[in-house]
Amino acid sequence: MEISLRDLLTVLHGMGFGALFMLAFAGAVAELYRMSAPAPAAPASPREQRLLWWYLFAMVVLAWAAVLSGTYMVYPWYRAVPPAGTADLANYPKFLLTSSPTTSKWHSLGMEWKEHVSWLAPIAITMVAYVTARYRRALTRPRQLRTAVLVFVVVAFAATGVAGAFGAFLNKYAPVRGGPAIHLIGGEAEEGD
Which residues contribute to the site for other proteins (CB under 8 A)? 43-46, 67, 71-72, 75-76, 79-80, 108-109, 112-113, 115-117, 119-120, 123-124, 126-127, 130-131, 134-138, 141-142, 144-145, 147-149, 151-152, 155, 159
Contact 49, 137 (CB under 8 A): yes
Give 46 or 186: the residue with its C-beta nearer to other proteins. Answer: 46
Closest contact distance (angstroms) between CB of 110 and other proteins is: 9
Give 2 or 141: the residue with its C-beta nearer to other proteins. Answer: 141
Alpha helices in 87-142 (DSSP H): 93-98, 104-105, 112-117, 120-135
Q: How far apart are CA 167 and CA 78, in angstroms?
A: 11
Give 106 or 174: the residue with its C-beta nearer to other proteins. Answer: 106
Give phi and psi for 181, each to the nearest 5: -80, 140
Give 3 or 127: the residue with its C-beta nearer to other proteins. Answer: 127
Q: How far apart are CA 9 and CA 14, in angstroms?
A: 9
